[in-house]
Chains A and B, each alone.
Chain A
Amino acid sequence: DTAVSQTPKYLVTQMGNDKSIKCEQNLGHDTMYWYKQDSKKFLKIMFSYNNKELIINETVPNRFSPKSPDKAHLNLHINSLELGDSAVYFCASSQDSGKVYTFGSGTRLTVV
């Protein structure tokens, strides 16, 4: 019973392609997130959704578009992939106004 699950775990693709990463949580949490971990392991928030509504949208290129069909799912679509998009992307969810956060196992995206 994985609490926050992401697919795929690994994604290798060519520059210019469009790809999606899916995330699902079965914890009943009301907020979901996407984080990007760069090559120096720095974790930075990209997006945050609360009950399907976008509440945080950091300075992320508009090639990145999150979509939340319901509060248990938050997908990330990336258009026109660039070399610099190579990173590990983590999905997370939270409850209790910031007291509990649970992370997925990450998706390692490699753009070649």
Chain B
Amino acid sequence: AQSVTQLGSHVSVSEGALVLLRCNYSSSVPPYLFWYVQYPNQGLQLLLKYTSAATLVKGINGFEAEFKKSETSFHLTKPSAHMSDAAEYFCAVSNQAGTALIFGKGTTLSVSS
């Protein structure tokens, strides 16, 4: 069964520093992988997705993620953090049948000035 594991429930960075949020997946078939962001008291917004095209995926707000099959990873990065990036980030994988999205437990990103 498909699953994702997000390493680190809380990541803190300084404004301007590199953001790295880790996600590893488990899948018996080529996966579709997603990163979503949730700002306080808001819904889920799609940052980016991997659906078997280019392994380096660029998303909104300067985020990108690289699909590495050998490492079963799909880590999210941003070169320079901004205060407005403080939010909850979720990695997710589509299940084998494509009938549901399975989420990781989320990583809270804090950005300090």
Residues of A within 8 A of B (CB): 31, 33, 40-45, 48, 50, 55-56, 90, 92, 94, 96-99, 101-106
B42 interface residue (CB < 8 Å to A): yes
Let me know if B43 and A45 touch, CB within 8 A. Answer: no
Residues of B within 8 A of A (CB): 32, 34, 36, 38, 42-44, 46, 49, 51, 88, 90, 94-95, 97-103, 105-106
Other-chain residue from A42, A48, A102, A104 in contact with B106 (beta carbon distance below 8 A)? A42
In angstroms, Cα B101 to Cα A48, docked, is 10
Let me know if B43 and A90 touch, CB within 8 A. Answer: yes
B residues within 8 A CB of A92?
101
Query: Given the interface contacts A48-B99, A56-B99, does A99 sit within 8 Å of B32 by beta carbon?
Result: yes
In angstroms, Cα B70 to Cα A86, docked, is 40
In angstroms, Cα B43 to Cα A90, docked, is 8
Let me know if A101 and B101 touch, CB within 8 A. Answer: yes
Let me know if A98 and B94 touch, CB within 8 A. Answer: yes
Q: How far is the CB of A74 from chain B (nearest CB, A)?
A: 14
Closest chain B residue, CB of each to CB of A31: B99
Closest chain B residue, CB of each to CB of A33: B100
For the complex of A and B, 4 pairs with smallest distance between CB atoms: A98-B98, A98-B94, A97-B98, A105-B43
